[in-house]
Amino acid sequence: MTKKALEVRSLTKKVKNKVIVDDVSFEVEKGEIFGLLGPNGAGKTTIIRMIVSLIGRTKGEVFVNGYNIDEQFKESMSEMGAIVENPEFYKYMSGYKNLKHYANMATREVTEERIKEVVKLVGLENAVHQKVKTYSLGMRQRLGVAQALLHNPSLLILDEPTNGLDPQGIREFRDYLRSLTKQGISVIVSSHLLSEMELMCDRFAIIEKGKLIHVSSINQLANQEQFVPTVQFEVDDVNKAFELLKEHQLTNDWKVEEGQQFSIKVDKETTADVNLLLVNNGIKVYSIHPITTTLEDRFLALTSKGEQGGKK
């Protein structure tokens, strides 16, 4: 049976009488980017801190590449590289000297060849001998990833890694992470940036108020039946179309767009029925196209459902 890159079982954190993380379980496959998604204060950083043993757990187990973190701590730590806060370096030293410093403290021997390898992997060959104080934020983030990869871990854990990066820096960082997974490295990323997680992750877990409320791949969530797509129609008479569709109870989430356009929530088959109904009643249909539901829309739908469930 293939070992998972990470297994988290019933992870719980209580501080006095307050539950910060409530019975969270998930798995990270080898070679995938797994996202922890949720608003600030949801418990993402606390989960990550427990995984990397920066804080204790009230309950739960963590397995890294098959190693139980309680029983095989050294082996577990050797399999992980992490950036939990913004990476900190000696700014008066070069990127290379900083990496050399961290290499001397690594749990595994880090050769000169390995340092060169990770520098190339994160694309800092031309800047590694410059002082860190000359680096952009994006370059410092990449140097942080290089530092976390020095001891050749199988799992990279990043907490809000794109904070402060401009759009170009975020795209470059996303590309670097994807290149890592091609080499078999698994990545777990926490973020509250919904659109970015949609582009970055293979699968994700939604965390809300310390609870895990949903786990799926981006594609699975997009295809779930509970999310009825929005379809936009362009016609010659919006008002007449509204009255006609109202008679047939087809004005679900009706919204008038620019000009002679309107949108409604209908599935694929009903879209065809609406088109036929409009045409048969003398309404010209100029165009029909679906409006892609974003991860943000689906996230809000799920979290609002979770809130309603909690109020019952």
Q: What is the pLDDT of residues 174-219, one digit of tens each?
A: 888 888 888 888 999 988 777 777 788 888 888 888 899 878 776 6
Q: Which domain holds residue 21?
A: 6-223
Q: Which one has a higher pLDDT value, 293 or 1?
A: 293
Q: Which of 223, 244, 272 is the last residue of a domain?
A: 223
Contact 206, 299 (CB under 8 A): yes
pTM: 0.70
Average pLDDT taken over every residue of the chain: 84
Is residue 78 assigned to a domain? yes
**37 and 178 in a common domain:** yes
Instruction: Over range 254-259, report the average pLDDT.
Output: 82
**105 and 23 in a common domain:** yes
Query: Each residue of 131-149: pLDDT tens digit?
Result: 999 998 888 888 888 888 8
At residue 290, does pLDDT exceed 60? Answer: yes
**234 and 206 in a common domain:** no
At residue 111, does pLDDT exceed 50? Answer: yes
Number of H helices, E strands in the chain: 11, 14
**238 and 165 in a common domain:** no
Return the minimum-mean-pLDDT range out of 6-10, 21-25, 93-97, 160-164: 160-164
**238 and 214 in a common domain:** no
At residue 224, does pLDDT exceed 60? Answer: no
* Residue 292 pLDDT grade (very low, low, confident, very high; cuts 50, 70, 90): low
* Residue 21 pLDDT grade (very low, low, confident, very high; cuts 50, 70, 90): very high
**100 and 245 in a common domain:** no
DSSP lists the bridge partners of residue 7 as: 27, 63
Instruction: Over range 44-69, report the average pLDDT.
Output: 92
**252 and 196 in a common domain:** no
Residue with tokens 């002679």: 260
Q: According to DSSP H, which parts of the chain are helical?
A: 44-51, 73-78, 95-104, 112-121, 137-149, 167-181, 194-200, 218-223, 238-247, 268-280, 295-311
* Residue 265 pLDDT grade (very low, low, confident, very high; cuts 50, 70, 90): confident
Is residue 311 assigned to a domain? no
CATH code of residue 173: 3.40.50.300
Instruction: Over range 114-121, report the average pLDDT.
Output: 87
